[in-house]
Structure 1
Amino acid sequence: MTRPDQPAAAAASDDDLFGSETADYARYRPGLPDAAVRLLAATQHGVPDPVLLDLGTGTGQVPRALLPVLRRLVHIDLVDVNQHMLETALAILGPVRGSCTVNAFSGEAHTFTPTAPGRAPTLITCSRSFHWMSRAEVLNMADRVAAPNAVVAIMGDGSLWTHEADWTAALRGLIQTYLGNDRRAGTRGTYAGRGRSYDEELADSAFSDVAEHRFPVARAWRPEDVLGYLRTTSFAGPGLFADRHHEFEAEALRLLQGHARGGVLKEDAEFTVLLARRPGGDA
């Protein structure tokens, strides 16, 4: 898996990274590929009462995708440092959770403590957020709370900052004219370089039996949707531009419209899922 960039400093709240507006996050962030969702569900075959722990849940994309496929889920724990995100996730899951119970934990992932007795997670997921966390501590926490045959799934597919295409390169260049050459990491600083790969982090953890799965993803973006997505990111959120955000969005829209073909901007991405187990667990 591609090595994640390491933020210069951990944020106390991802309001600093992504802002407090969750509507754009829920609307514009790409979901999980169907094949990845089916893979996650398959890890729970034979588990009588699956329990999901979703770290860095955001607006609850992972549990929302899993609930219709893994109908036997009995409990979900949502973890995020952003209370606004948790409230949105709870609202989104409410109409679809059925008899599945849901708890929300506001805090850093490695500080999570289960509040539902007898609900040890059998599946721990972390999608597009592991790089923001204290990863070794998170994996130690997972070892403490997880069921004996639990599966840890670390997932991601980069971002429009890292994607290589003519239109993303031009967009990245425009962002840099406003914010400087270094990729921003919210209002707290910039990325400091590359850290250890997720594979290396897992190899040093209790969940050292790792299988990698890659799923190609083709996306078609409208220019307006790209702007909505950018508002949810740590590298181009509105708070980074101060009073120039409207100016930036107008210029970015013109740039994206110039690159669009038939009103569409194409992204060919790859969604990677690392499934990790304790040695000796089920394959």
Structure 2
Amino acid sequence: MARWSGDKSRPASAASATTGSGGQARRTHEDVLRDAGFVDVVEYQFPTPHTWTVDEFIGFLWSTSYTAPIRENPSLAEGFEQDLRAQLRECELSGQLRESIAHYYILGRKPDPARISR
């Protein structure tokens, strides 16, 4: 992405969800729920295997904001896509790109006021 967008500061992957700007720790969703009075806050994760074709992956990538500077220049976009296809095929000859998508949800409950006052 950095090579094709011209943005050499752009990381190869998204920034950590737990790090805010300036490197300070960001509050987690769990922290926000607890601060709002929720109790028994817990996160449940369930990784799900997923297989992309090269076309699906490129289509997904075009839909992200990361590719906006490239999409704005049709000749640059064509070269980027050709280069990306070649690199993906080099990494995976089958054209089947496998990953584990980490789905999760966070659950908490509001305490029952009737139980607390007893």
Taking structure 2 as the reference length, the TM-score comes to 0.68
Alpha-carbon displacement from aligned partner over 1:239-274 (angstroms, at most 9, x marks no partner): 322312222112111111111242211102321111
What is the alpha-carbon distance in structure 2 between the residues aligned to residue 280 and residue 269 of structure 1? 35
Please state if 1:272 is matched with 2:101: no
* CA–CA distance in structure 1, aligned partners of residues 95 and 83 of structure 2: 17
1:108-129 deviations in Å (ceiling 9; x for gaps): xxxxxxxxxxxxxxxxxxxxxx
1:260 to 92, 97, 111: 92
Structure 2 vs 1, CA of residues 247 and 203 (structure 1 numbering), >3 Å: closer, same or farther? Answer: same
- Could you tell me which runs of 5 or more consecutive residues in structure 1 were left unpaired when the two chains were aligned: 1-174, 186-190
Q: Which runs of 5+ in 2 are unaligned?
A: 15-19, 114-118
Greater helix proportion: 2
TM-superposed deviation, 1:208? 4.2
2:69 matched to 1:240? yes
Residues 171-214 of structure 1: per-residue CA shift (max 9 Å, x gap)? xxxx12123232499xxxxx835522222222212434412111
Question: Could you list the per-position Cα deviations for residues 117-157 of structure 1 after superposition, in whole angstroms to 9, with x for gaps in the alignment?
Answer: xxxxxxxxxxxxxxxxxxxxxxxxxxxxxxxxxxxxxxxxx
Matched pairs, number:
100
Identity %: 25
Q: Which amino acid aligns with 2:9?
A: N
Partner of 1:182: 10
- Taking the aligned partners of 1:223 and 1:201, their CA distance within structure 2 comes to 38
CA-based RMSD of the aligned residues comes to: 2.6
* One-letter amino acid of the structure 2 residue matched with residue 232 of structure 1: S
Q: Distance in 1 between matches of 2:100 and 2:93?
A: 15
For each residue in 1:7-58, what CA deviation from the matched residue of structure 2 results, as whole angstroms up to 9, or x when unmatched? Answer: xxxxxxxxxxxxxxxxxxxxxxxxxxxxxxxxxxxxxxxxxxxxxxxxxxxx
Is the 8 Å Cα contact of residues 259 and 265 (structure 1) preserved in structure 2?
no
Distance 1:250 1:224 in 2: 11
Structure of larger gyration radius: 2
Which aligned runs of 4 or more in structure 1 are off by greater than 4 angstroms?
none
Please name the residue that 2:81 is paired with: 249
